[in-house]
């Protein structure tokens, strides 16, 4: 055998992984925003406000965490908001009819999961691009929900059930505990399981992933089902917090969730990103909106600011990654 | 490493001359004081291993890179090439391996892209004129095709012709071609060679980058050899032997004999394919592979070799027939085949074999996740350990297991693809053109690796367009023709002539 192995001339990768560095930048940005808001507004640093920010961020995060997995596979789930609405309405009905919150929660999660699975089947078996499949699903779900609710509003749930969204434990809102739990589960799943690794591999190059022996279709089914189930979970927290459900509650949820994923550094091209990044993304988004409220900036400006943050975040992300390459 | 004396040529002034070109990237001198001259109407072969500086020189020539130092002379006059526009003005055109055609436009639109003849109504194209002009250009290169054909419908060879036509229409006087025959069949290659002869006669100079020794001698008027960013020598084909050229390229004697220790007798039957038929164009394929064997699968490009490999691996659906592996019938997706112990090393490793943006480690363990982490819990350090072992074992040249795999050279990328199946503990390795785009030293390493695999009880099915590889490495070979097995050659019958004879149409 000839010794042709040349000393490679590229610089070694740094100690921290690319993903860790990107998350670090985002934490820095979040802290910077906090610092600015603390200076500009007296009430920002109050415990009540901080808990409020975290609670709001948690709802976006639940939806966005499942979505992150979908985006990691280079897919998109546009039906999450509509899924939240349908799941909330169905769960609410079950609770009203049976009086059992546990049964309602299970139905809500199941409904979300089944919708996700249907998305997955459209993407894998029917090979419809995820963007289009879930966009169609958005309309179907909206249609079902409007028909089912027929303009009615579900209202008034048992006090125990309402604790999930509005209760406190050791002085902290319960959604914050749920946030920590699912942040942990999501991060472990993505980084520390072989399924997570396979999801990254699929997003990085689906053809190579399949030819490397990864069961791509099964993993995609899983990812869409998880995304749907997380929407189901969000629907329960939504229901419990608002103490009511209407057909249109999901309409303002999808785009912020996508924004959180993108601000968090997950690439729409797949294979790059973290669940923890999405959490920071949701936090940044919520912080900015919270700050605008505290500073009495008209709510009309919020979409504009969100848009600018998303574009800025993605642009900076591309710039820093390119330099790292 | 002194520059050899310039070769005397019939024409006194070169059309284009580069003197002392240097180009540095952070940490690497891509070009180091390279001088290079192109004379009118010559075919100038550019030789060197991957990473020798051929691509960099080509990019400097066409203005894509700006040289850090050095001078350019055009017909004896000093000029500057600092942008692609400069190069274009001097009549330098490059035919890259990846074509730059717009797939959904027709041939004429592609040829005159950005220079379309304007119609009477502002913003429109004069259709009649663009078609007539395109036809004229196509005629000059002897390419008989309707210029209104959509480029997407063309084969690789035809797209290449369109690229050449485009260059000619821009009055190119120097045509740089980067491994133009890499994806062509033998027949198409002949047509290309005829065209090159024609262009030469018209006074067009051709800078031709190749890895194929036969081409170098068949086509070249002069040869420049690069190594590690330096010009090693300039020679005429008549004055050198292939061995001498190889030595210049690698800087030492390379044992071009293929490392292979043939076993006395083959092991037990590992793969049995019976009557395999698939809608991808293969029918009634019967193949047997035993442990300890390297079995060749040859035939022309397009004869169905890759399709057979994909069907066995489960990558394409099978419509009839049976695949028996290790005593059991298999049918299903690649994940099943992979779990049973079949490995596919696909033809295009960049698009089908690797996740280029992920690390060497990520790529090495991707097929072995279940085996390495039976609990389902992934552990980065465990992956790193496995990867480090494979990097040592396969001598993958990478600064670390965390390096992005896309930054490695072709040969090292190929080792990563093979390594991922070693990690998975595969028993049958299906190689589809394992040495394409890999330099000579790495080729012989890859063959040594395959030899070691089968000596340890694995088996290999190897597709290669390089018949000489098949002849040296394989125990026996199947030859395909038009989607069927046209014949089988035992070790003692395995010659290039026999392969060609069986593989040719109506032989």
Tell me whether residue A34 is in a domain.
no
A213 and B250 within 8 Å at the Cβ level: the answer is: no
Q: Phi first, then psi: what are they for A269, rounded to 5°?
A: -85, -5
Give the minimum alpha-carbon distance from A212 to chain B in angstroms, rounded to a whole number: 5
What pLDDT does B255 receive? 54
Interface touch B408/A8, C-beta < 8 Å? yes
In a domain, B417, yes or no: no
Is the pLDDT at B123 greater than 60, yes or no?
A: yes
Taking only the tens place, the pLDDT of each residue in B260-318 is 888 878 789 999 999 999 998 899 999 999 999 999 999 877 789 999 999 999 999 99
Q: Which of A54-68, B54-68, B256-270 has the lowest mean pLDDT?
A: B256-270
- What pLDDT shows up at residue A6? 33
pLDDT tens readout for residues A223-262? 999 999 999 999 999 999 988 888 888 888 999 999 999 9
Q: Yes or no: say if B355 and B413 are a contact pair by the CB < 8 Å rule.
A: no
Task: Confirm whether B409 is domain-assigned.
Answer: no
- Residue-wise pLDDT for B223-274, tens only, equals 999 888 888 888 898 898 887 887 787 765 555 567 788 887 878 999 999 9
Angle CA A277–A282–A287, to nearest 5: 120
Task: Identify the closest residue of chain A to B439 by CA–CA distance.
Answer: A4
Show residues of chain A in contact with B412, CB under 8 Å: 8
Tell me whether strands B43-47 and B205-209 are parallel, antiparallel or unpaired: parallel
Q: Which residues from A are below 8 Å from B397, CB to CB? A: 5-8
Check residue A138 and report its DSSP letter: H
**pLDDT greater at residue B328 or residue B26:** B328
Tell me what pLDDT residue A7 has.
33
Q: Decide: helix, strand or coil at residue B335.
A: helix
Q: Return the closest-CA partner of residue B41 out of B170, B192, B173.
A: B173
Query: A95 pLDDT band (50/70/90 cuts)?
Result: very high
CA distance A280 to chain B (A): 23
Q: Which two structure tokens, joined as six digits, stand for B286? A: 């019967």
pLDDT one-digit tens code per residue, B442-487: 888 889 999 999 999 999 999 988 778 888 899 999 999 889 999 9
Judging contacts by C-beta atoms under 8 Å, the chain A residues touching residue B340 are: none
pLDDT, position B440: 75
Residue A323 has pLDDT above 70, yes or no: no
Residue A247 CA to residue A146 CA, distance in Å, equals: 6
Q: Of A179, A185, A208, A254, give the one whose Cα is nearest residue A74.
A: A208
Domain hosting residue A68, numbered range: 18-24+45-324
Sign of CA dihedral A299, A301, A303, A309: negative
Helix axes A275-294, A302-324, angle to 10 degrees: 140
Cα B99-B105-B106 angle, rounded to 5 deg: 95
Residue A2's pLDDT is 31
Residues across chain A: 325
* Residue A197: partners with Cβ closer than 8 Å, 6 or more residues away: B362, B365, B366, B369, B378
DSSP state at residue A301: G
Chain B residues lying within 8 Å of A13, measured CB to CB? 359, 399-400, 402-404
**Does residue A188 lie within any of the structural domains?**
yes
Query: What was the ipTM of the complex prediction?
Result: 0.86
Cβ of residue A214 closer than 8 Å to a chain B Cβ = yes
pLDDT band at A12 (very low <50, low <70, confident <90, very high): very low
Q: Report the half-sphere exposure of B368 (CA within 13 A, side-chain side).
A: 23
Give the nearest partner residue to B357 out of A194, A211, A271, using CB atoms.
Answer: A271
pLDDT of residue B505: 56
Residues of chain B with pLDDT > 70: what percent? 95
Any domain includes A67: yes
Under an 8 A CB cutoff, do A4 and B250 touch?
Answer: yes
Question: What are the angstrom distances between the C-alpha of A264 and each of A61, A230, A284, A311, A316?
Answer: 11, 18, 9, 12, 11
Is B429:B451 a contact under the CB 8 Å cutoff? no
B1 pLDDT above the threshold of 50: no
Report the residue of B358, B368, B400 to disrupt the A interface, i.e. the one with the largest count of A CBs within 10 Å: B358
Residue B77 domain-assigned (yes or no): yes
pLDDT at B368: 94
- CA B91 → CA B74, B172, B175, distances in Å? 10, 4, 8
* B6 band by pLDDT with thresholds 50, 70 and 90: very low
Using a CB-CB cut-off of 8 Å, the residues of chain A touching B411 are: 4
Tens of pLDDT, residues B150-209: 998 888 888 888 988 998 898 889 999 988 887 777 788 888 899 899 899 988 999 998
Contacts of B364 (CB under 8 A, 6+ apart): B383, B386, B387, B390, B391, B401, B416, B419, B420, B423
- C-alpha A273/C-alpha A71 separation (Å) is 9
Q: What is the pLDDT of residues A284-295, one digit of tens each?
A: 999 999 999 898
Nearest CB partner across the interface for B255, out of A2, A205, A209? A2
For tokens 């908001």, name the residue. Answer: A81
Q: Which residues pair with B291 in a beta bridge?
A: none
Which long-range CB contacts under 8 A does A34-39 form with residues at least 24 apart? A34/A287, A36/A291, A37/A287, A37/A290, A37/A291, A37/A294
B466 assigned to some structural domain: no
Upper half-sphere CA count for residue B126 (Cβ side, 13 Å): 12
Interface probe, candidates B28, B49, B52, B334, chain A, greatest A C-beta count within 10 A: B334
Tokens of B244: 């001498």
The domain tally of chain A equals 1
Answer whether A194's CB lies under 8 Å from B376's CB: yes
Asked if A270 reaches chain B (Cβ–Cβ under 8 Å), the answer is no
Which pLDDT score is estimated for B397? 85
Among the partner residues A8, A12, A213, nearest to B335 by beta-carbon distance: A213
Query: What's the token pair of residue B21?
Result: 């070109």
Q: By the 8 A CB rule, do B179 and B208 touch? A: no
- Rounded mean pLDDT, B23-31: 76
At B234 the pLDDT is 87
Please give the average per-residue pLDDT across B379-386, as a whole number: 92
- A98: contact with B, CB 8 A cutoff: no
Order of strands across the sheet that contains B43-47 = B92-95, B174-178, B205-209, B43-47, B222-227, B230-235
**Neighbour tally for B369: CB within 10 Å:** 24
Range of the domain at B235: 1-91+214-253
Give B373-414 as a 3 state SS string: CCCCECCHHHHHHHHHHHHHHHCCCCCCCCCEHHHCCHHHHH
Judge whether A11 is closer than 8 Å to chain B, CB to CB. Answer: yes
Q: How confident is the model at residue B11 (pLDDT cuts 50, 70, 90)?
A: low
Q: Which residue has the tokens 């929407």?
A: A231
CA gyration radius, chain A: 21
> Is there a contact between B324 and B505 (Cβ–Cβ < 8 Å)?
no
Tell me which residue in A1, A11, A198 faces B369 most closely, judged by beta carbons.
A198
Q: Is residue A218 part of a domain?
A: yes
Task: Name which of B109, B94, B499 is nearest B296 in CA terms.
Answer: B499
What's the rounded mean pLDDT across residues A90-100?
93
CATH number at residue A79: 1.10.3470
pLDDT at B28 (0 to 100) = 66
Dist. CA B351–CA A211, nearest whole Å: 11
Contact state of B354 with A208 under an 8 Å Cβ cutoff: yes
CB A236 within 8 A of CB A86: no
* DSSP-derived secondary structure letter, B125: B
CA distance B401 to B386: 10
Question: A193 vs B378: CB contact, 8 Å cut-off?
Answer: yes
Cβ neighbours of residue B76 closer than 8 Å, sequence gap 6 or more:
B13, B14
Q: Are B467 and B298 in contact (CB under 8 A)?
A: yes
Provide the percentage of residues in chain A whose pLDDT is more than 90.
Answer: 66
- The percentage of residues in chain B with a pLDDT greater than 90, rounded to a whole number, is 47
Question: Does residue A216 sit within a domain?
Answer: yes
Q: What is the dihedral of CA B287, B292, B298, B302, to 10 degrees?
A: 70
For residue A149, the SS3 value is helix
- List chain B residues with CB under 8 Å of A211: 313, 315, 334, 344, 346, 352-353
Summarize pLDDT for B401-450 with one digit per residue, the tens.
988 898 888 888 999 999 999 999 999 999 999 988 777 778 888 899 99
Whether A211 sits inside 8 A of B335 (CB atoms) is no
Q: What are phi and psi of B275, to 5 degrees?
A: 55, 35
- B52 touches B245 (CB < 8 A): no
| Alpha-carbon torsion (B114, B115, B119, B121), positive or negative | positive
Rounded Cα gap, residues B438 and B419, in angstroms: 16
Return the number of CB contacts < 8 Å for A and B: 130
For A297, phi and psi rounded to 5 degrees?
Answer: -80, 140
CB-based contacts of A138, cutoff 8 Å, min separation 6: A78, A79, A81, A82, A254
Measured CA to CA, the distance from residue B183 to residue B206 in angstroms comes to 19
Q: Say which residue, A64 or B242, is predicted with more confidence.
A: A64
> Is residue A6 domain-resident?
no
A120 lies in some domain? yes
Closest CA to B354 of B286, B425, B403, B285: B403
Residue A54 in contact with partner chain B when CB distance is under 8 A: no
- Cβ count within 10 A of residue A319: 10
Evaluate whether residue B279 is within a structural domain. no
Does any domain span residue A33? no
Tokens read off for A98: 């049976």
| CA B183 distance to own-chain centroid | 7
Q: What is the domain-level CATH number for residue B2?
A: 3.40.50.300
> How many domains does the structure of chain B reveal?
1
Among candidates B224, B215, B205, B225, which has minimal Cα distance to B42?
B205
Mean pLDDT computed over every residue of chain B: 87
Bigger pLDDT: B3 vs A209? A209
């Amino acid at each position: 055998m000839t010794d042709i192995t040349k000393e490679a001339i590229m610089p070694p990768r740094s100690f921290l992984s690319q993903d860790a560095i990107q998350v670090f930048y985002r934490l820095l940005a979040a802290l910077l925003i906090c610092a600015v808001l603390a200076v500009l507004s007296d009430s920002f640093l109050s415990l009540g406000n901080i808990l409020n920010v975290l609670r709001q961020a948690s709802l976006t995060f639940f939806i966005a965490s499942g979505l992150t997995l979908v985006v990691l596979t280079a897919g998109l789930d546009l039906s999450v908001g509509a899924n939240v609405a349908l799941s909330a309405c169905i769960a609410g009905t079950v609770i009203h009819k049976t009086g059992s919150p546990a049964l309602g929660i299970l139905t809500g999660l199941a409904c979300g999961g089944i919708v996700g699975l249907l998305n997955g089947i459209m993407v894998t078996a029917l090979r419809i691009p995820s963007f289009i499949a879930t966009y169609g699903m958005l309309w179907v779900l909206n249609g079902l929900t409007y028909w089912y609710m027929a303009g009615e509003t579900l209202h008034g749930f048992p006090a125990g059930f309402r604790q999930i969204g509005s209760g406190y434990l050791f002085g902290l809102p319960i959604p914050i505990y749920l946030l920590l739990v699912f942040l942990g589960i999501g991060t472990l799943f993505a980084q520390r399981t072989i399924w997570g690794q396979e999801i990254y591999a699929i997003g990085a190059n689906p053809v190579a992933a399949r030819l490397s022996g990864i069961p791509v279709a099964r993993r995609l089914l899983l990812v869409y089902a998880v995304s749907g189930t997380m929407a189901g979970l969000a629907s329960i927290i939504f229901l419990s917090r608002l103490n009511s459900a209407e057909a249109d509650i999901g309409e303002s949820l999808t785009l912020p969730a996508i924004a959180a994923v993108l601000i968090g550094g997950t690439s729409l091209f797949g294979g790059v990103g973290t669940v923890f990044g999405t959490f920071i993304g949701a936090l940044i988004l919520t912080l900015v909106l919270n700050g605008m409220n505290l500073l009495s900036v008209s709510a009309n400006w919020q979409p504009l600011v969100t848009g600018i943050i998303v574009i800025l975040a993605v642009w900076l992300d591309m710039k820093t990654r390119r330099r790292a390459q | 490493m002194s520059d050899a004396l310039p070769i005397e040529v019939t024409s006194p002034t070169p059309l284009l001359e580069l003197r002392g070109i240097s180009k540095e990237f952070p940490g690497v001198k891509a070009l180091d004081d390279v001088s290079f001259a192109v004379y009118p109407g010559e075919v100038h072969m550019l030789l060197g291993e991957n990473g020798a500086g051929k691509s960099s020189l080509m990019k400097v020539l066409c203005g894509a890179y700006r040289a850090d130092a050095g001078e350019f002379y055009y017909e004896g006059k000093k000029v500057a090439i600092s942008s692609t526009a400069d190069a274009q003005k001097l009549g330098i055109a490059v035919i890259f391996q990846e074509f730059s055609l717009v797939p959904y436009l027709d041939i004429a639109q592609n040829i005159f892209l950005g220079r379309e003849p304007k119609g009477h109504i502002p913003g429109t194209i004069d259709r009649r004129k663009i078609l007539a002009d395109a036809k004229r250009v196509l005629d000059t290169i002897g390419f008989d095709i309707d210029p209104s054909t959509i480029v997407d419908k063309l084969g690789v060879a035809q797209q290449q012709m369109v690229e050449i036509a485009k260059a000619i229409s821009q009055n190119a006087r120097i045509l740089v071609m980067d491994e133009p025959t890499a994806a062509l069949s033998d027949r198409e290659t002949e047509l290309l060679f005829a065209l090159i002869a024609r262009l030469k006669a018209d006074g067009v100079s051709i800078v031709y980058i190749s890895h194929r020794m036969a081409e170098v001698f068949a086509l070249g008027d002069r040869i420049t050899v690069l190594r590690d960013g330096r010009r090693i020598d300039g020679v005429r084909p008549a004055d050198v032997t292939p061995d001498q050229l190889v030595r210049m390229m690698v800087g030492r004697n390379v044992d071009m004999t293929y490392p292979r220790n043939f076993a006395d007798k083959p092991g037990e039957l590992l793969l049995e394919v019976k009557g395999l038929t698939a809608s991808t164009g293969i029918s009634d394929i019967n193949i047997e592979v035993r442990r300890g064997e390297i079995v060749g699968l040859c035939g022309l490009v397009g004869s169905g070799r890759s399709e057979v490999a994909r069907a066995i691996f489960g990558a394409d659906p099978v419509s009839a027939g049976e695949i028996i592996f290790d005593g059991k019938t298999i049918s299903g997706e690649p994940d099943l085949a992979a779990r049973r112990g079949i490995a596919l090393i696909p033809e295009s490793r960049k698009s089908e074999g690797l996740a280029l943006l992920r690390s060497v480690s990520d790529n090495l363990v991707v097929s072995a996740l279940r085996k390495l982490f039976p609990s389902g819990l992934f552990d980065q350090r465990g992956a790193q350990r496995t990867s480090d072992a494979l990097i040592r074992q396969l001598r993958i040249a990478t600064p670390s297991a965390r390096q992005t795999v896309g930054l490695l050279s072709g040969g090292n990328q190929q080792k990563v693809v093979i390594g991922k199946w070693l990690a998975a503990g595969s028993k049958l390795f299906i190689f589809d053109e394992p040495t394409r785009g890999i330099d000579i030293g790495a080729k012989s390493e890859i063959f040594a690796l395959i030899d070691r695999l089968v000596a340890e009880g694995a088996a290999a099915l190897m597709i290669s367009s390089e018949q000489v590889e098949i002849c040296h490495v394989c125990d026996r070979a199947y030859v395909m023709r038009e989607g069927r097995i046209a014949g089988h050659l035992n070790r003692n019958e395995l010659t290039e002539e026999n392969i060609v004879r069986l593989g040719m149409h109506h032989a």
